[in-house]
Amino acid sequence: MATFLVRRSIGAILVCIAVTFVVFLIFIVVPGGDPAQRIAGKNATPQNIINIRHSWGFDQPFYTQYWVMLKKMFGGNLVSYTSQQNVLTQIVQGMPATFSLTIGASIIWLFFGILVGVLSAITAGRLSDRVITVLALIGISMPVFWLGIITRYYLAEGGLVTWFPDGEYVGITQSPVQWLSHMILPWLVLAVLFIGFYGRVLRGNILDTINEDYVRTAKSKGLTPRRILVKHVLRTSLIPIVTLFGLDFAAVLGGGAILTETVFDLHGVGQYAELSINNFDLPPIMGVTMYGAFFIVVFSMIVDLFYAYLDPRIRPT
């Protein structure tokens, strides 16, 4: 187990290094034109651009440029030239909102995703399965930002009712009740897509597993249907869901919920990136991309470890 852990950690570090190189390529090398001008943002003066060209080493060979970028990112010196704000500080400021959104929504989507998947699988072919399937497909087909805009307008802004507060994030330490009431709608909106998706995946997994020989064996032992479902069918059907969940959780934590955060004005990490897009202010987007990749790398490592625990066939001996 220890060697597995060490090997996996080294792999994760290598991926992180590769990720920084990809970020370098995306922002500095691939796009056309002068990188200094791009980094400087929309309303830069010529003097700004000259300064940036110098401080980022754009007049130097590319490996120096890469090294400078790494130093800026990991030294916490990445600065937005449009707003003159430190990117790391801004990301840290956005984390409470992003974490609140992710943790709450993921609990909802995991719980209802499993519920929906199990319900439609055990009633496969009957009316409830059909209704669930239709609802799940509609859920998957709705763009999350549109659902957010519409629900915010009709349920929070008074288009129909005002059951929920109108956007914004309130810190949990400031007022737990306000925090909760501000988060409920974003949680539900973000969870809808995942519930539909997880429900579909789990339904398929369960129906595949039910046809496995070992489920027939379990039945031939005289086990109760409930025990067969829980111990033999669900246990194996949920393994792929664990992988999905780990990676989705990480992606949302890493700023992947940019749309939900934006629509509900939560001022999370994702929205920080979104606000920068309109000004074509690249350093924040670089920072957030890196931050998101970091979470995914870490979580995919955790998922692998957990996976090995769940499936003895790939457990290292």
Partner 1 sequence: MAQQAGETEFTLDTAAELASDEPASTIRGRSPWYLAWHRLRRNYVAFAFLVLFVVVLAACALAPVYASQVAHSGPNANHVLETVKVNGHEVSVVSAGGYIDKKTGKPCTVSGTGCELFSAIPIGPTWFSAGGKFVLGADANGRDVAVRLLYGGRSSLVVGIGSTAICVFFAVILALLSGYFGGWIDFVITRFFDLFYAFPVVLLGIALGSALAINGFHHFGINIESGSLWIPTLVISYVLVPYVGRPLRGQVLSLREKEFVEAAISQGASPMRVMFSELLPNITSSLLVFFTLIIANNIVLEAALSFLGAGVQPPTASWGTLIADGQNLIVTRPWLALAPGIAIVLTVLSLNVFGDGLRDALDPRAKIKIEH
Partner 2 sequence: MEPGGALMAERLLEVEDLSVHFATVDGTVKAVDGVSFELERGKVLGIVGESGSGKSVTAMTLMGLTRDVNAHFGGEVRYKGRNLLELSESEMQGYRGNEIGMIFQDPMTSLNPVYRIGEQIVEAIQAHDKVDKRVAKRRAVELLKQVGIPNPESRVDDFPHQFSGGMRQRAMIAMALSCNPDVLIADEPTTALDVTIQAQIIELIGRLKDDFNSAVIMITHDLGVVAEIADEIIVMYAGRVVEQAEKRDLFYDPQMPYTWGLLGSIPRLDRPKPERLHSIKGAPPSVINAPAGCKFRPRCPHAFEKCVDEPALENRVEKPGHLDRCWLDVEVKRALRDATISGDTQEAA
Which residue ranges make up the site for partner 2 (CB under 8 A)? 212-214, 216-225, 227, 231-232, 235-236, 310-313
Tell me if 144 sits within 8 A of 193, measured CB to CB: yes
Shortest CB 173 distance to partner 1, Å: 27
Tell me if 151 sits within 8 A of 249, measured CB to CB: no
Q: Choose the one of partner 1, partner 2, none that binds residue 113, judging by a C-beta under 5 to 8 angstroms depending on kind.
A: none
Pattern 108-127, partner 1, x by CB under 8 A: ----------------xxx-
Asked if residue 316 binds partner 1 (CB under 8 A), the reply is: no
Q: Which is closer to partner 1, CB of 26 or CB of 305?
A: 26
Give the Å distances, CA to CA, from 114 to 18, 119, 133, 210. 35, 8, 14, 16
Contacting range for partner 1; rule: CB under 8 A; set: 50-58, 72-80, 134-142, 234-242: 134-142
Shortest CB 230 distance to partner 2, Å: 12
Neighbours of 47 (CB within 10 A): 8
At which residue do the structure tokens 């430190």 appear?
A: 86
Shortest CB 134 distance to partner 2, Å: 22
The helix (run of H) or strand (run of E) holding residue 85 is: none
Asked if residue 129 binds partner 1 (CB under 8 A), the reply is: yes
Shortest CB 303 distance to partner 2, Å: 17
Quote the CA–CA distance of 161 and 25 in Å, as a whole number: 48
Q: Which is closer to partner 2, CB of 141 or CB of 220?
A: 220
At which residue do the structure tokens 């699988």 appear?
A: 121
142 phi, psi to nearest 5 deg? -90, 130
Which residue in the set 280, 309, 311, 315 belongs to the binding site for partner 1 (CB under 8 A)? 280
Quote the CA–CA distance of 18 and 235 in Å, as a whole number: 35
At which residue do the structure tokens 């590769």 appear?
A: 18
Contacting range for partner 1; rule: CB under 8 A; set: 70-78, 90-98, 223-231, 250-258: 250-258
Contacting range for partner 1; rule: CB under 8 A; set: 63-71, 76-84, 178-186, 205-213: 205-213
Which amino acid does the sequence have at 207?
Answer: L
Strand partners, 79: 86
Residues from 214 through 243 that contact partner 1 (CB under 8 A): 216
